[in-house]
Copies of this chain bind each other. A is one copy, B any other.
Amino acid sequence: MKYLFKDVTVLSMNEGMEIKLSCDVLVEDDIIKAIDNISHGVAEGATVIDGKGKLLMPGLINGHCHVPMTLLRNYADDLDLQTWLFEHIFPVEARLVDDDVYWGSLLGIMEMLKTGTTCFIDMYDHIDAIAKAVDASGIRAHLSRGMTNSNEGSDFSEDKGLLENIEFIKRWNGAANGRITGAFAPHAIYTCSADFIKAILNEAQKLGAPIHVHLDETRVEHEDCLKNHGKTPTKYLYDLGLFGQKTIAAHCVWITDEDIEILQENNVTMVHNPTSNLKLASGIAPVPKAIEKGVNVILGTDGASSNNNLNMFEEIHLASLIHKGVNQNPLLVSAEDSLKMATINGARALGCSNLGIIKEGAKADLILIDPDKSHILPMHNIMSALAYSVQGSDVCLTMVDGKILYENGEFKTIDMERVKYHIDKSFKRLF
């Protein structure tokens, strides 16, 4: 299949943050085949998409999510963490079955696709059901099975979560034309023993798979670690050797200057989840310092129960606002910084040089934005507009792996009515 975006403004997200006006972009199969000066022969047979007055940019990469939790959206808000988790979230999660997870994931994927996310990095249970939803929807995802200790001791050969994560990597890594990739996910230092983390690391090494972990999200996690281990959570995981595998660490709210150096030196990606960290009252991650020190910082929504959207434009917006206010410095986390965190840095976290960028040979994960709206005009500055004014609802087309999955309110691979029917069914059973 070929598509030709005609006469569009292209935000390439390359090193120079190049913006090309009145540009043509040819997509063939899953690849950006050519940009500008495209001869008629090469574009022959392509479906033409009128890009006049519109912006084309790389699809957004949601750096940290628990997509099935979309089922729990707007449930149990404005509560303290203990009440929220132990009285509301955990009891419902314990009742989830594969079917809930499949349809809950599709609901979350719908929101992501229509708000411009083309790839998400996830951690949850029932991972097979999530992979099936990813496969069916056409979105790109990096999945892992969130694991917590199921037993004491050091023998985890029968651990259900670990076996599922191993099985998942073997079955799904690289599936769906490479749209699905996998990682191992020790949930966090406070839910996994050192022995369990080592056992997970061992399996990750054997399969050459990366790591996705929650790191230093709350003050309690940080202080307990200092008390119990005499070191920060980052140093603790470093000493366990976890960062020897390529690691994506979510939250990093309480990391110290020394921790930032450890992350940088070990190429650990830090996921900033501004909405979730605010809503759950975790605090404000030291993002400006991490960026300054060269850490690869990316952006995530976290799950819908702590956000309550999976809308990356909200995270871009918030990331460019909050650090200015909290640090009383308007020069921190520019529009450009936030846009990088949501695109090219996400690709770097996944080790993919052909994602998060518009260039010849890159994957055709693209979004088209219509800025001809009263809430965006006048268009003084494209980068500012994208970070501060554009809404998720301004995305008019989302393409993943060269296929149009969403266009002008319509989902090409997902039947909204069917999703609603099943969500309603799950809802009635669960609550």
- A interface residues with partner B (beta carbon < 8 Å): 71-81, 84, 107, 110-111, 114-115, 219, 275, 277-284, 307-311, 314, 317-318, 320-322, 324-332, 334-335, 374-381, 384-385, 387-389, 391-393, 416, 419-420, 423-424, 427, 431
Contacts and interface: CB of A to CB of B under 8 A. Distances in A.
A424 B325 contact: no
Contacts of A72: 380
Contacts of A114: 374-375
Contact of A378 (B73, B307, B331): B73
Nearest to A308: B388
A296 to B, nearest CB: 21
B328 A219 contact: yes
A371 to B, nearest CB: 10
A391 to B, nearest CB: 6
Given A107-B377, A308-B389, A322-B322, A331 B283 contact: no
B423 A378 contact: yes
A420 B374 CA distance: 9
A388 B111 contact: no
B73 A374 contact: no
Contacts of A115: 375
27 contacts: A73-B376, A74-B380, A74-B389, A77-B335, A77-B384, A77-B387, A78-B330, A79-B330, A111-B374, A114-B374, A275-B321, A278-B326, A279-B321, A280-B330, A281-B327, A281-B332, A282-B328, A308-B384, A309-B375, A310-B375, A318-B321, A322-B322, A374-B416, A375-B392, A377-B423, A391-B391, A393-B393
Contacts of A392: 375, 391
A162 B380 CA distance: 33
Contacts of A335: 77-78
B378 A328 contact: no
B391 A73 contact: no
A330 B279 contact: yes
A424 B378 contact: yes
Nearest to A218: B328
A375 B309 CA distance: 6
Nearest to A80: B330
